[in-house]
């Protein structure tokens, strides 16, 4: 049976999985679950993932959710090159440390920044109070400082001299649809150089392919009233 991935490339965890599978020549069938239409909230998708979130995976009867779990499964099953998730215990621990932190640190602030700065005004037609937006961006800046000082330091990549799952998960969080490229790195040359290094290791064509949707999200039409009513409770829970 073919590996099935349920993704929306608007979502950072989905982009990380998409890049990893493509980069490592893992064959898969992609099912697009459009978050902006609320398709992840449908009863049909609940049969795949009862938590009604993307990404999700089906493989030979195994249903799996949570992006890190899916990435580790794919790395092990398809015997991805060792640098993605090293066999050496201490090197692997560094990757695990970064993955654990980013899920509750970097990811939270990036999701809040995306919704407060772009998605609420453009897609949902809601304006965020300036003081709330300022607090959100300050939180993101603080997490960028942790990423730079604690994890990157003077290394080429977050967990050592080679790209790993830690880099892939973190860098896909930081592509923000504000003026194109990655403006969150303005004033942070060390992080900007790391970003370019990760993009080159992935391959610029694949990197841009995976991020095309998020970089064009400002051009998406506003949500209709029904979709907005479906999405708002989930969105508010996610970003508070």
Q: In order of start, what are the domains of the chain with their CATH numbers?
A: 4-80 (3.40.30.10), 84-219 (1.20.1050.10)
What pLDDT does residue 177 have? 62
Omega before residue 192 within 30° of 0, cis: no
Rounded Cα distance between 221 and 185, Å, is 28
What pLDDT does residue 180 have? 40
Check the CA dihedral 149-155-161-162 and report its sign. Answer: positive
Mean pLDDT, residues 10-16 taken together: 95
Rounded Cα distance between 160 and 29, Å, is 32
Q: In 3D, which of 166, 139, 165, 155 has the Cα closest to residue 193?
A: 155
Mean pLDDT, residues 13-20 taken together: 97
Mean pLDDT, residues 105-131 taken together: 86
* Torsion angles phi and psi, residue 56, rounded to 5: -145, 160
Tens digits of per-residue pLDDT, 148-200?
999 999 999 999 999 999 999 999 999 876 544 456 788 899 999 999 999 99
Mean pLDDT, residues 219-227 taken together: 76
Give residue 215's pLDDT band: very low, low, confident or very high (50, 70, 90).
Answer: confident
Chain centroid to CA 3: 20
What pLDDT does residue 233 have? 74
In whole numbers, what is the pLDDT of the chain averaged over residues? 90
What pLDDT does residue 240 have? 63
Which residues in 70-90 are b (16+ Cβ under 10 Å) and which e? bbbebbeeeebeebbbbeeee
Pairing of strands 56-59, 62-65: antiparallel
Mean pLDDT, residues 87-102 taken together: 96
Separation of first and last alpha carbons in the chain? 40
Mean pLDDT, residues 8-20 taken together: 96
Element (H, E) at 232: helix 225-239
């Amino acid at each position: 049976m073919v590996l099935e991935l349920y993704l929306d490339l608007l979502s950072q965890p989905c982009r990380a999985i998409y890049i990893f599978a493509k980069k490592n020549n893992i064959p898969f069938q992609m099912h697009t679950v459009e978050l902006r239409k609320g398709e992840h909230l449908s009863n049909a998708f609940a049969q795949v993932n009862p938590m009604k979130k993307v990404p999700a995976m089906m493989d030979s009867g195994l249903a799996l959710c949570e992006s890190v779990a899916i990435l580790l499964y794919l790395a092990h099953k398809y015997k991805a090159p060792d640098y993605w998730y090293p066999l050496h215990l201490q090197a692997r621990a560094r990757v695990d440390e970064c993955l654990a932190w980013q899920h509750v640190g970097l990811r939270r602030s990036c999701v809040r920044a995306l919704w407060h700065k772009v998605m609420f005004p453009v897609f949902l037609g809601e304006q965020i109070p300036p003081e709330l937006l300022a607090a959100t961006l300050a939180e993101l800046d603080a997490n960028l400082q942790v990423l730079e000082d604690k994890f990157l330091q003077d290394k080429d990549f977050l967990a050592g001299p080679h790209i790993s799952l830690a880099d892939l998960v973190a860098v896909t969080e930081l592509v923000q649809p504000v003026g194109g490229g990655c403006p969150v790195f303005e004033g942070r040359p060390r992080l900007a150089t790391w970003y370019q290094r990760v993009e080159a290791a992935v391959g610029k064509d694949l990197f841009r392919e995976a991020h095309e949707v998020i970089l064009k999200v400002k051009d998406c039409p506003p949500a209709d009233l029904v979709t907005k009513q479906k999405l708002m409770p989930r969105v508010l829970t996610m970003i508070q």
